[in-house]
């Protein structure tokens, strides 16, 4: 007997990273990192290459910042407020459950901002500091295990900023805050946060800070300068930007050196002239500290005699390949050093994760030059435009407006092929055999062969801007939209065999029947076609509804459509026989598999409904992304 399908799903693997989160990569231990994507925090084991998941934003409000406690037991996640106040959730990493939720009381006059920009635990893990963002710039101090707001204070006025907060590791009652034109020190006593020192500096952004083991504070500026403070007084500075500029003057010399990376030899990317020298991250080390510049470089400083810090390592991104169509330099977003200080991992603004091994002898006479390499594989840099699953192999093809097509193996959880093109890619479909694919480009449709490590163009077809293309179930035909026309081609000859005309608006989607003898298409109206002759078999016209997606039922006797009216409609003999509203949002796409119907929305929600449809059918809802789901 066939087992009944259940309307549940679980997350299997994530290929991607959310880059617009403060401190978006963290070490849990020497072999485990944490990074966010959508509503999940991914807990990734470097040795086993496995993932575990912590749901961190059930209402999909958006995550703005992360922080991990010094004892590595707790994770703090800041969620944006939306219509409500922003909140911070504290999770127990041992059991992967929420421990506390910190929400400012309604009578707190300081809380107006809708997001936290920076978070920090005290070194005894007793206190927790949260810096609110624009318009408020309020610093909150929490006794977090009791969810008690101990004190809050406005750090600066609305015209300035407060970017980063940090606790003194030797005194948990002392904090420092940096922002535009200021470095401020606070102490918590008598139940209040009180400012002890405010240093007015040049009118530049001070972007990051880190307390050092010797009770010194180092602050990084957008001008590439490190400022050192002791006993809350300025002592001296190091101009990292000038050091880097001097290095770049010896570019030809650097090219002849052999920088060490943990695998293959690569060229350094020294083309950073157009990138601002902003220092955007700092991290304390046992013998000094590391700082990163926006250009993608990380510099390690070790302490010498008399508190003098000397640069000992420079780490850069690999040089962009000359064959790359997209000259996309990786700009560093955040970095973190493993507890044993043997590995440095960074994230970039382009949604990538890189690593470099730090172990090695220190030569005080010469700077060691290292190269980052990809942690696992490259992710898409921008929005994924199209996705398709190969029916006979464990392969998924995806295309993005980063001008690349990638093929993933979802059994091995790895990237098989990645190729860039000089044109925008709008849609993609895999042949059932997995040996070919078609892709809709901005200038034309292309038929490609899937090789071992490459995609080879076999035929270019003059169909511009095809937002939907698909192989037939048997693989002997393929179809592509061209405005309000659907063109059918022979997969063997790549020649046009028939065109479907009749839609007045741009076609949103189409679907093949199980035996490939018919096709259904949707736009402002729904048509069904005879594939062999191109004859229109029937139509369904409804007013005031724009249809987004269409599919045949498993038995082939009915058609399912979704559109702007938030309903799933079932059509039999060109009559709407059933209509349900599974989820109270406009539905953008649907797919049906066995006895389960999957629907997606523009807000990132995925709904699962049992099929056949019935009134009162429940819908299991998952939050898959933070924004529009572009394909299922």
Question: What is the per-residue pLDDT across 12-50, written as a single tens digit (0 to 9) for each?
Answer: 899 999 989 999 999 999 999 999 988 889 999 999 999
CA 561 centroid distance within chain: 30
What CA–CA distance (Å, rounded) separates 185 from 503?
A: 67
What CA–CA distance (Å, rounded) separates 603 from 589?
A: 12
Residue 455 has pLDDT above 80, yes or no: yes
Assess whether 441 and 557 both reside in one domain.
Answer: yes
Assess whether 447 and 593 both reside in one domain.
Answer: yes
Which of 158, 173, 193 is where one domain is finished? 158
Domain assignment present for residue 512? The answer is yes
Nearest to 589 by CA among 597, 578, 571, 601: 601
Assess whether 452 and 307 both reside in one domain.
Answer: no
Residue 624 has pLDDT above 90, yes or no: no
- Encode pLDDT of 209-224 as tens digits: 999 987 899 999 999 9
Strands 384-389 and 332-337, by their bridges, are unpaired
Assess whether 487 and 554 both reside in one domain.
Answer: yes
Assess whether 447 and 571 both reside in one domain.
Answer: yes
Assess whether 469 and 344 both reside in one domain.
Answer: no
Provide mean pLDDT across the span 55-79. 88
Assess whether 348 and 463 both reside in one domain.
Answer: no
Residue 255 has pLDDT above 60, yes or no: no
Listed ranges 84-88, 486-490, 615-619; the one with the highest mean pLDDT:
486-490
Residue 263 has pLDDT above 70, yes or no: no
Q: What is the CATH number of the domain that holds 596?
A: 2.130.10.10
Residue 328 has pLDDT above 80, yes or no: no
Q: What is the pTM of this model?
A: 0.90
Enter the tokens of residue 436: 């070919």
What is the average pLDDT score of the chain?
87
Assess whether 361 and 443 both reside in one domain.
Answer: no
Domain assignment present for residue 50? The answer is yes
Domain assignment present for residue 401? The answer is no
- Encode pLDDT of 338-388 as tens digits: 999 999 999 999 999 999 999 765 555 678 889 999 998 899 988 899 999
Nearest to 550 by CA among 561, 541, 539, 565: 561
Residue 628: its pLDDT value, please? 83
- Encode pLDDT of 538-573 as tens digits: 999 988 888 999 999 998 899 999 988 889 999 999
Domain assignment present for residue 499? The answer is yes
Residue 260: its pLDDT value, please? 47
Residue 1: its pLDDT value, please? 36
- Encode pLDDT of 462-477 as tens digits: 999 999 999 999 999 9
Q: Compute φ and ψ for 450, nearest 5 degrees.
A: -95, 110
Residue 181 has pLDDT above 70, yes or no: yes
- CB-CB contact of 91 with 74 (8 Å): yes
Reported confidence tier of residue 395, pLDDT bands at 50, 70, 90: very high
Structural domain count, the chain: 3
Assess whether 443 and 316 both reside in one domain.
Answer: no
Least confident segment among 67-71, 185-189, 546-550, 616-620: 616-620
Nearest to 394 by CA among 368, 372, 381, 412: 412
Residue 218: its pLDDT value, please? 95
Reported confidence tier of residue 86, pLDDT bands at 50, 70, 90: confident
Domain assignment present for residue 591? The answer is yes
Which of 106, 138, 158 is where one domain is finished? 158
Q: Above pLDDT 90, what percent of the chain? A: 61
Residue 254: its pLDDT value, please? 44
Residue 531: its pLDDT value, please? 96
Reported confidence tier of residue 505, pLDDT bands at 50, 70, 90: very high
Residue 320: its pLDDT value, please? 67
- CB-CB contact of 171 with 211 (8 Å): no
In Å, what is the CA distance from 27 to each residue of 46, 125, 207, 342, 367? 11, 17, 22, 12, 26
- CB-CB contact of 414 with 406 (8 Å): no
Residue 91: its pLDDT value, please? 96
Provide mean pLDDT across the span 81-94. 86
Reported confidence tier of residue 227, pLDDT bands at 50, 70, 90: very high
Residue 59: its pLDDT value, please? 67
Domain assignment present for residue 165? The answer is no
- CB-CB contact of 55 with 43 (8 Å): no
Provide mean pLDDT across the span 483-498. 95
The answer to whether the Cα torsion of 217, 225, 328, 342 is positive or negative is negative
Q: Compute φ and ψ for 569, nearest 5 degrees.
A: -110, 140
Provide mean pLDDT across the span 156-184. 88
Cβ-proximal residues to 282 (8 Å cutoff; 6+ apart), any chain:
208, 209, 210, 218, 219, 220, 289, 290, 291, 292
Domain assignment present for residue 505? The answer is yes
What CA–CA distance (Å, rounded) separates 421 from 154?
A: 50
Residue 85 has pLDDT above 70, yes or no: yes
Residue 257 has pLDDT above 70, yes or no: no
Least confident segment among 230-239, 245-254, 523-532: 245-254
Residue 332 has pLDDT above 70, yes or no: yes
Assess whether 368 and 417 both reside in one domain.
Answer: no
Enter the tokens of residue 61: 């409000």
Which of 102, 133, 158 is where one domain is finished? 158
Q: Where are the beta strands (DSSP E) in 451-558?
A: 455-461, 469-471, 477-482, 485-490, 496-501, 509-512, 518-522, 525-530, 536-541, 547-552
Assess whether 294 and 370 both reside in one domain.
Answer: yes
Q: What DSSP line would sit under 336-359, residue for residue?
A: EE-TTSSEEEEEETTS-EEEEE--
Domain assignment present for residue 384? The answer is no
Q: Above pLDDT 70, what percent of the chain? A: 89
Q: What domain range is 609 assigned to?
A: 413-623
Assess whether 369 and 517 both reside in one domain.
Answer: no
């Amino acid at each position: 007997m066939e087992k009944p399908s259940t309307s549940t799903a679980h997350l299997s693997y994530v290929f991607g990273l959310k880059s617009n989160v403060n401190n978006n990569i963290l070490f849990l231990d020497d072999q485990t990192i944490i990074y966010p994507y959508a509503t999940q925090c991914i807990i990734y084991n470097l040795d086993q290459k496995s993932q575990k998941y912590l749901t961190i934003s059930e209402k999909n409000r958006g995550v703005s910042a992360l922080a991990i406690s010094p004892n590595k037991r707790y994770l703090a996640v800041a969620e944006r407020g939306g219509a409500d106040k922003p909140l911070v959730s504290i999770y127990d990493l041992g059991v992967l459950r929420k421990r506390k939720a910190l929400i400012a009381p309604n009578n707190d006059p300081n809380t107006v901002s809708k997001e936290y920009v920076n978070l920090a635990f005290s070194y005894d893990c007793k206190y927790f500091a949260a810096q609110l963002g624009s318009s408020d710039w309020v610093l909150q101090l929490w006794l977090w295990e009791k969810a008690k707001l101990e004190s809050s204070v406005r750090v600066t006025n609305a015209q300035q900023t407060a970017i980063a907060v940090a606790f003194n590791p030797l005194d948990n009652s002392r904090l420092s805050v940096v922002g535009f034109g200021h470095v401020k020190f606070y102490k918590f006593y008598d139940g209040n946060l009180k400012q002890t020192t405010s240093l007015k500096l040049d009118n530049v952004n001070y972007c990051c800070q880190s307390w050092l083991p010797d009770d010194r504070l180092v602050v990084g500026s957008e001008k590439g300068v490190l400022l050192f403070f002791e006993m809350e007084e300025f002592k001296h500075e190091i101009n990292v930007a000038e050091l880097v500029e001097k290095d770049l003057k010896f570019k030809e010399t650097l090219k002849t050196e052999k920088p060490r990376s943990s695998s293959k030899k690569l060229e350094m990317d020294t083309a950073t002239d157009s990138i601002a020298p902003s220092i955007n991250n700092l991290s304390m080390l046992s013998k000094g500290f590391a700082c990163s510049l926006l250009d993608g470089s990380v510099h390690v400083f070790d302490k010498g005699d008399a508190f003098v810090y000397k640069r000992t390592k420079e780490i850069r991104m690999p040089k962009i390949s000359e064959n790359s169509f997209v000259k996309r330099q990786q700009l560093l977003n955040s970095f973190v050093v493993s507890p044993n200080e043997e590995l440095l991992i960074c994230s970039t603004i382009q949604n990538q994760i890189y690593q470099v091994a730090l172990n090695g002898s220190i030569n005080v006479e010469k700077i060691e030059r290292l190269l980052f390499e990809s942690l696992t594989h490259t992710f898409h840099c921008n929005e994924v435009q199209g996705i398709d699953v190969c029916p006979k192999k464990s392969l998924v093809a995806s295309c993005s407006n980063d001008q690349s097509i990638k093929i993933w193996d979802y059994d091995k959880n790895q990237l098989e092929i990645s190729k860039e093109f000089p044109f925008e890619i709008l849609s993609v479909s895999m042949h059932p055999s997995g040996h070919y694919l078609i892709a809709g480009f901005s200038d034309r449709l292309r038929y490609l062969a899937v090789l071992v490590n490459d995609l080879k163009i076999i035929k270019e077809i003059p169909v511009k801007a095809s937002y939907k293309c698909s192989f037939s179930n048997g693989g002997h035909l393929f179809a592509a939209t061209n405005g309000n026309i659907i063109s059918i081609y022979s997969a063997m000859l790549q020649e046009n065999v028939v065109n479907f005309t009749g839609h007045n608006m741009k076609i949103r989607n189409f679907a093949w029947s199980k035996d490939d003898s018919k096709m259904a298409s949707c736009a402002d109206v729904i048509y069904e076609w005879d594939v062999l002759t191109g004859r229109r078999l029937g139509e369904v016209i409804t007013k005031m509804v724009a249809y987004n997606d269409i599919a045949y039922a498993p038995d082939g006797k009915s058609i399912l459509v979704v559109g702007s009216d938030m309903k799933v409609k079932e059509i039999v003999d060109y009559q709407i026989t059933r209509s349900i509203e599974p989820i109270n949002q406009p539905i953008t796409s649907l797919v049906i598999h066995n006895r389960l119907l999957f629907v997606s929305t523009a807000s990132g929600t995925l709904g699962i409904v049992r099929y056949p449809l019935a009134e009162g059918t429940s819908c299991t809802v998952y939050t898959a992304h933070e924004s529009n789901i572009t394909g299922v």
